[in-house]
Structure 1
Amino acid sequence: MLIWQQYKGIPIHLRVSNFVKTWLEMYWRPGVDDIALSHLSTFTKDSLLHYFPAPSQRILDLISKRQDSNTSLVSPKSERVRDPGMSINPPSYTLSEVPRPTMTKALLAMLRGKNFDTVAITDFDALELARQLTIMECDLYCTIQPEEVLETGQEGTKPPVNVRAVSSLSTVITGWVAKNILNEHDIKKRTLLVKFFIKVADRCTSLHNFSTPRSILAALDSSTISQLHQTWLGVPHKSKMQLESLRRLADHGRNYHQY
């Protein structure tokens, strides 16, 4: 029992202690989470204080402050608006480090002149398009509230509005990719489109966006596009290798082992 406590029990208590502290400092939502304060206080005193006196006292202090006020704690950490997917101490960036849009002058002029009919999707830089799609995905993802995730999939309930918005964007991207490819009747141009969308999906993964590539894959692997044999014959080997890599990332086998 002592050996288990040393090698298992204490590390588990430490992780739980860090989790509770992080929750109170960074993720606490006044009004929504306040119901848990009394339970956290009891748990900290009964289960954590014995093992980690100083960290536990810090947790109790945080609980006390949360009980005294429904406003956020006055600290640099708590004032940051964070996405739950971000690391605890995300790197900071200056404006000079934000990448400038990659776009030719001719394309920029056409867009400013609203000459959209003359703009081809392949006129865009693949990385720049991946950035814009990633921004769209990120904006919608960050609006999802924790309780919406818990409600998702419950029998007899509609998907929460913000979750539905993310799902709808995925459907729109899939349809947009398929439409662009199928509307092109020239085989060479259609092949270039397939190659381009594979490149966009690959650039998305380099930005740690794994949602948009799935939407693009759904179009490329659809029956209507996968059966365009003459088109696929012209796709370069490098692009096909990128596509296979994307498929491995999207494979749910072994609990998304490749991902």
Structure 2
Amino acid sequence: MGNLRQSFFVAAACATLCAGCAVPSYDVPRDKYDQPTVRTIVDRVQCEIRDMVRDDRPDDPASFHRLFLMNNDYEVVVNLSLEVNQSGGVAPSVSYVTPLLGTAASTVTLGGSASVSEARDHTFSENIQLSTRQIYQDWKSNLKLYDCPPAATNLAGTLGIKDLVSMATSSPGLNEEKTGQTVFGGSIQFVVTKSLSAFGPSWQLVRFKNIAALANLSEINTDKITLSFAPGPNRGKRLARVRAPNAAANQFLQQLIINAISNELVIQNNRH
């Protein structure tokens, strides 16, 4: 009986250790150093804003988004919240089985059970401020294309930010003369639940019966983006002219850098 009790507690202790040996994983891609990164999520938000303010699609029925956002110099504050909850538990049971005196077919069974469980939460939160005019200017001057990233995670897929803007521009309470005073926003959330439950093996001796641990393991990822739109300081002012990169100036700059490197190499060689 002592050996059986000892084995039970060893099993329970091992289960507890295993529950804490793995760090819960955020539902985001990992970079080349195998570290979690939210880059593709931020890229997705910027991509959808770019698509609303770009001016190379005159036939786009949603082109009014551009006028609404650009004329009022809308800025977007984005809160990115990631949470992962990991839990697990074991519930082994042990029964003492003994035959009744004089009856080989009947038995008395006394059972006992215990449970061990553990839960662990990891959270991450970040605020990002974006300017619709700045994204337009960067895209227009080819400084940054803001291409949509591959859907490596739920929040890097289509978010539908355009729908938030559509509802704001079509709101019955919207005063067209004071569109710059309109503050609006919304959120997008994904919840992914992974779970596993299984019975272990069972065995029976002459007087003892055991059902091995029933393991319950789960991991829940809650990924949420909250966006707040508000007019910027340049509401109603003309957009500054977007200047394309000056090819001649850039070429001359590169030549100056090359000349400086060459001169430094000559100086170093003369010293030796």
Highest RCO, 1 vs 2 (Cα 8 Å, sep ≥ 6): 2
TM-score, normalising length from structure 2? 0.20
Q: Max radius of gyration: which structure?
A: 2
